[in-house]
Amino acid sequence: MAAEMSLVSVVLFIATGALVFFLLFLFAKRQIMRFALRSARKPHINIGADAPRELREEIQRRLTIVQSVRFEPTLLSEQVLEASKSVPNHYLHRMKALDAFTNAVDCLRSKDTTIGLRGTKQTMQLYLFTLCPSAANSSQAQIIDMFCSSYNHARHHPANFGNAELTNYMELLDKVIRMIKDNKKRRAAALYPAVETEVRLRRDCGKRESAETVRHTGKSNNLRLQARRNQPAASRPEHVEQFNMVDKSSGYSSTDHSSSGRGSVERLISPQHSFKPERDEAV
C-alpha cells in the first residue's frame, strides 16, 4: 500500500512539475514577444499584408521614397504681406530671408543645368561648397561659413532676426550668388569628367599586332572639400576682413555691370517680395 502511494505521489509530482514548466514557458514567451513588438518601430501587421503582390510592391515603393521627398513652400504671400502692414510680424524678416535664397537658387537653376537641388540630408554648408568647389580652403570659405550661420539664424535660432540681420544676410547672399556663377566651369567638369583614350599595340608570337583600347575616366577632385570637412574647427583660420574684397555698396553682379541701383539678389526676387531696408524703431 505504501509502495503504491509513493508511486502515485511520484507521478503527480512529475506531472505537476511538467505543467508548471509549460506555464512558465508560455509566460516567458509571451513577455518576450510583447517587449519585441513594443521596441520595434513598425506596426504589428505589415502594411498591405493581405493585398495583391502588385499593390504591396507599390506600397513599399512609395514608403521608400518618403525619405527623399523634399518640399520648401513659399513663405511670403500676399495675405502675409498685407497683414504685416497692420499687425507687427516678427517672422517677416525670416520669411524674406528664406524666400530670397529659394528664389535665387530657382533662378540660377533655370539658367544653369549644372546646379542641382539640395539633398534631404545635405547641410547648407556642404551644398554651397558643392556649388562652389573653388571656395574650399580659400578666403571665400569665410563668406560661405558666414552665410550659413546667418541662414541658420534666420531659420532655426530663437534670437531676434531684425532689419540689420536681414541686410547683412542679403549682402552675403549676393556674394554667394556671384561665387556660384564663377564656378560654372568647375561644376561642368565634375559632371562630365574628361575621358582619356589610350591605344596599346601588342605583338604576339606569330608576329601579329593587336590593338587594345583603354579608356581612363577622370574623377572629380573633391580632396580639398573633404580636407576642409575633416579639418577641426580650432585649426581653421579666424575671421579676417578678406570677405570685404567685394564692395558692399555694389549693386550689380559679377556678370552684369549695369548702372542700375538694384543688386543681383533683388533682381532674383519677385517685385512683391523685394527687400526694402527699414529703420529699426527705438524701443
C-alpha 168, offset from chain centre: 24
Q: How far apart are CA 27 and CA 22, in angstroms?
A: 9
Rounded distance between C-alpha atoms, residue 147 and residue 171, angstroms: 9
In this structure, the number of other CB atoms found within 10 A of the CB of residue 92 comes to 20
Instruction: Return the exposure string of 126-162: e unless at least 16 CB atoms fall within 10 Å of the residue's CB, then b.
Output: bbbbbbbbebbeeebbbbbbbbbebbebbeeeeeebe
Interatomic CA distance for residues 34 and 25, integer angstroms: 14
Domain ranges of the chain: 11-66, 79-192+223-273
How far apart (Å, rounded) are the C-alpha atoms in residues 215 and 218? 10
| Radius of gyration, CA atoms only, the chain | 33
Q: Distance between CA atoms of 105 and 115, rounded to whole angstroms?
A: 8
- pLDDT for the residue 239: 39
Give the predicted TM-score (pTM) of the model: 0.52
pLDDT at site 281: 42
User: Burial, 104: exposed, middle or buried (Cβ in 10 Å; 0-12, 13-18, 19+)?
Assistant: buried
Task: Give the pLDDT score at 211.
Answer: 57
Q: For residue 89, what is its C-alpha cell? A: 510680424
pLDDT (0 to 100) of residue 15: 93
Digitized pLDDT (tens) for each residue of the chain, 283 residues in all: 566 668 888 888 899 999 999 999 999 999 998 887 776 666 567 777 788 999 999 999 998 888 888 888 888 888 888 877 777 777 888 999 999 999 999 998 888 888 888 888 888 888 998 888 888 777 888 899 999 999 999 999 989 998 899 999 999 999 999 998 888 877 777 665 555 566 666 666 655 656 565 555 554 444 444 445 445 444 444 433 333 333 333 333 333 333 333 444 444 454 444 444 444 444 3
